[in-house]
């Protein structure tokens, strides 16, 4: 259309000049003006049509890629939640986050923009080159001469940018991790007067990040000038060679304008070849990283269908377990029975296997040897979610979410009124502490509950377990940060209000186990003693020795 319009104008200008002095000149001018206006309107309409179809193209491909990105993130997130505890022992959180964010985004970029520009490249190059060669083969060859060089140059520059960007991203991730560590451990940093050394170290790493970023900026600075230079070269060649052919009468002036527009239409598709190749490489690597985790099966499979009974005895039958990541044998031929409603304490030295027993009860791991039964059925025959729903577990490394205290207490499938939340907080001896906070139960705790003391966090987690009203409660050394008076208040509630519930208390403080039904003593993954508090004291074994040491420490303390 533009070629025809320009040729029409060019021819009619000459005719218009020849009509100088004639009355027809004014009428001829009006006719030419209306024709040019017609062409102008036609070009605008075609541009609008192109815009409308580009909108629908982007709506189809880009929106599709965003929907796939959403599905992938959801799939990865759901799969992360299904994976067993051993998986998280072998992989760090930063890598997990990187795969669900950066890697998914790179795959999305391939599925969206790269596919869009790839289709655009294929069709536009095909149509444009067909149009060009159908007009003039020689001019087409000269016009296209610099474009392969442009694509190769941009591919080379893109690879350099890619490599440097990867290095910068790693350095940025390191800076973020370093800053997070310092902020999380600010008490330790201040108490050891390490503010300046840590600041100097951060400055050194920041300077490294700056120098790498400046290096990338230097390469980026070459990108657009190089592209403009080669496009400009192609345009100059088109005008020069086209001008010679116009003088020879081979083509018309409109053909030159037509070819200049073709060159500009081909600029981005040809430029994008290097970018698309780079995106495909990144997406391939990212998809491989994503598949590594997506195709990793959980070692804990929910194959059971039985609902967990409200009452039933727990039996460990010659259970042995070795941690797969370290090869450490945590439990060796463990056998014991806990009847429904019994209160049992588990004690032992550090790394004697106490927490491993709790993990096996919750099926965070499955035993390598032996079997675990509840009410005569293998633990694996119960529905996994039903099993965990009926067991309340309070780990030794207490975790609170960045939410209100009330929401932390009611975390899980629990719907409770505020009065009920307060009551269970009282049972956990934490109501008074919460009431003294600025917004009481609506107070937001910091990341991992950092704004609270260790004892407050432990008691809130105990309230979270109590409000669940479980059939079995497992307390893994969760009273280490509370005083003796508070400890006795919690134990009294455990004995009185939860007397019909099975309770397993893992602890180092033996005095709280005096009224428990039974105590199991572990050493090096084996049961070395078992009995009531009084029986174990009389036996004069390991338990009696540790109890006497604690008594002496309390008296002298």
pLDDT in tens, 90-113: 776 766 777 788 788 888 888 888
pLDDT classification of 449: cutoffs 50, 70, 90: low
The pLDDT of residue 451 is 64
Q: Encoding tokens for residue 48?
A: 């609008």
Q: DSSP for 263-315?
A: HHHHHHHHHHHHHHHHHHHHHHHHHHHHHHHHT---SS-----BPPPSS--EE
Same domain, 276 and 424: no
The reply to whether 435 and 485 lie within a common domain is no
pLDDT at position 411 over 70: yes
Unique residue bearing structure tokens 């499979």: 301
Is the pLDDT score of 401 beyond 60? yes
In this structure, are 55 and 156 located in the same domain?
yes
pLDDT of residue 374: 85
Domain-located, residue 310: no
Residues 486 and 365 in one domain: yes
Report the percent of the chain where pLDDT is more than 90.
Answer: 1
List the beta bridge partners of residue 474. 393, 504
pTM: 0.68
Q: Is residue 325 part of a domain?
A: yes
Compute the radius of gyration of the chain from its Cα atoms: 38
CB 399 within 8 A of CB 480: no
Residue 530 has pLDDT above 60, yes or no: yes
Enumerate residues 6+ apart whose C-beta is below 8 A from 535.
none
Q: What H or E segment, with its residue span, contains residue 74? A: helix 24-82
CA 542, CA 53: separation in Å to the nearest integer? 81
The answer for 216, left when phi > 0, alpha when psi is -120 to 50, beta otherwise, is alpha
Q: What are phi and psi of 499, to 5 degrees?
A: -65, -25
Half-sphere exposure of 59 (CA within 13 A, CB side): 6
- Claim to verify: residue 259 and residue 383 sit in the same structural domain: no
Same domain, 187 and 279: yes
pLDDT band at 343 (very low <50, low <70, confident <90, very high): confident
The total domain count for the chain is: 3
Per the domain annotation, does 281 fall within a domain?
yes
Q: Answer whether residue 287 is part of any domain.
A: yes
Report the pLDDT averaged over residues 485-505. Answer: 75
Residue 529 pLDDT exceeds 80: yes
Verify that 201 and 57 share a domain, yes or no. Answer: yes
Q: Which domain holds residue 114?
A: 2-294
Q: Give the β-pairing of 329-338 and 314-322.
A: antiparallel
In a domain, 305, yes or no: no
In a domain, 314, yes or no: no
Residue 467 CA to residue 469 CA, distance in Å, equals 5
Which CATH number covers residue 267? 1.20.1560.10
| CATH assignment of the domain containing 526 | 3.40.50.300
Over residues 18-57, the pLDDT tens digits come to 666 666 667 777 777 777 788 888 888 988 998 998 888 8
297 vs 300, 327, 387, 407, CA distance in Å?
9, 20, 21, 32
Q: Where would I find the H helices in 136-250?
A: 137-144, 146-184, 186-191, 195-247
Assigned domain for 549 exists: yes
507 secondary structure, DSSP code: -
pLDDT at 146 over 70: yes
Domain's final residue, options 230, 259, 294 = 294
Q: Indicate whether 373 and 408 sit together in one domain.
A: no
Q: How confident is the model at residue 399 (pLDDT cuts 50, 70, 90)?
A: confident
Of 418, 435, 464, which residue constitutes the final position of a domain? Answer: 464
Predicted local confidence at residue 49, as pLDDT: 93
- pLDDT of 124 > 60? The answer is yes
Q: Is the pLDDT assigned to residue 135 strictly greater than 90?
A: no
DSSP result, 87-128: HHHHS-HHHHHHIIIIIHHHHHHIIIIIHHHHHHHHHHHHHH
| Whole-number average pLDDT of the chain | 79
What is d(CA 522, CA 344) in angstroms, rounded to the nearest whole number? 13
Helix axis angle for 2-18 and 253-294, nearest 10°, is: 170
Largest CA distance in the chain: 134
Q: Is residue 302 part of a domain?
A: no
Residues in the chain: 557
Average pLDDT over residues 153-170: 74
Is 26 found in the same domain as 174?
Answer: yes
- Regarding whether 62 and 19 lie in a shared domain, the answer is yes
pLDDT of residue 52: 93
Q: Residue 469 and residue 487: Cα distance in Å, rounded? A: 20
Shared domain check, 227 and 79: yes
Q: Return the structure tokens found at 497.
A: 């209000």
Residues 177 and 231 in one domain: yes
């Amino acid at each position: 259309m533009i070629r025809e319009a320009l040729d029409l104008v060019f021819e009619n200008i000459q005719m218009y000049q020849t009509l100088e002095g004639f009355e027809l000149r004014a009428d001829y001018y009006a006719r030419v003006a209306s024709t040019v206006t017609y062409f102008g309107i036609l070009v605008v309409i075609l541009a609008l049509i192109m815009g409308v179809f580009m909108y629908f193209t982007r709506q189809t491909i880009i929106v599709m890629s965003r929907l796939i990105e959403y599905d992938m993130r959801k799939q990865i997130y759901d799969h992360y939640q299904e994976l067993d505890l051993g998986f998280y022992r072998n992989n760090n959180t930063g890598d997990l986050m990187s795969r669900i964010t950066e890697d998914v985004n790179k795959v999305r970029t391939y599925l969206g923009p790269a596919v869009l520009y790839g289709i655009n490249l294929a069709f536009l190059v095909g149509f444009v080159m067909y149009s060009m060669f159908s007009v003039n083969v020689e001019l087409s060859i000269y016009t296209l001469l610099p474009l392969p060089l442009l694509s190769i140059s941009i591919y080379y520059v893109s690879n350099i940018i890619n490599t440097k960007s990867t290095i910068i991203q790693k350095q940025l991730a390191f800076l973020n991790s370093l800053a997070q560590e310092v902020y999380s451990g600010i008490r330790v940093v201040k108490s050891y007067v390490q503010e300046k050394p840590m600041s100097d170290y951060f400055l050194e790493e920041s300077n490294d990040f700056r120098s790498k970023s400046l290096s990338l900026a230097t390469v980026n600075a070459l990108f657009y000038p190089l592209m403009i230079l080669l496009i400009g070269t192609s345009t100059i060649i088109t005008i020069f060679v086209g001008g010679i052919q116009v003088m020879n009468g081979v083509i018309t002036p409109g053909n030159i304008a037509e070819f200049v527009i073709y060159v500009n239409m081909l600029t981005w598709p040809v430029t994008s070849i290097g970018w698309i190749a780079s995106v495909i490489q990144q997406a391939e690597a990212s998809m491989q990283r994503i598949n590594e985790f997506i195709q990793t099966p959980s070692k804990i499979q929910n194959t059971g269908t039985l609902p967990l009974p409200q009452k039933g005895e727990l039996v460990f039958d010659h259970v042995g377990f070795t941690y797969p990541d370290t090869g450490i044998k945590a439990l060796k031929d463990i056998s014991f029975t806990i009847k429904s409603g019994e209160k049992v304490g588990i004690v032992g030295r550090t790394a004697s296997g106490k927490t491993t027993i709790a993990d096996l009860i919750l099926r965070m791991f499955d035993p390598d040897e032996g079997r675990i039964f509840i009410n005569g059925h293998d633990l694996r025959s119960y529905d996994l979610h039903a099993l965990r729903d009926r067991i309340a577990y309070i780990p030794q490394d207490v975790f609170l979410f960045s939410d209100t205290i009330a929401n932390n207490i009611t975390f899980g499938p629990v719907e409770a009124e505020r009065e009920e939340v307060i009551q269970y907080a009282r049972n956990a001896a934490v109501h008074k502490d919460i009431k003294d906070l600025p917004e009481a139960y609506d107070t937001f705790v910091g990341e991992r509950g950092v704004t609270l003391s260790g004892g407050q966090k432990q008691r809130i987690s105990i309230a979270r377990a109590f409000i669940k009203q479980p059939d079995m409660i497992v307390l893994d050394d969760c009273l280490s940060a509370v005083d003796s008076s508070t400890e006795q208040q919690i134990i009294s509630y455990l004995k009185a209000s939860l007397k019909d519930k099975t309770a397993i208390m893992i602890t180092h403080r033996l005095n709280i186990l005096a009224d428990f039904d039974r105590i199991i003593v572990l050493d090096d993954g084996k049961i070395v003693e078992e009995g009531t508090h009084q029986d174990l004291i009389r036996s004069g074994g390991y338990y009696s020795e540790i109890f006497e040491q604690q008594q002496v420490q309390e008296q002298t303390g």
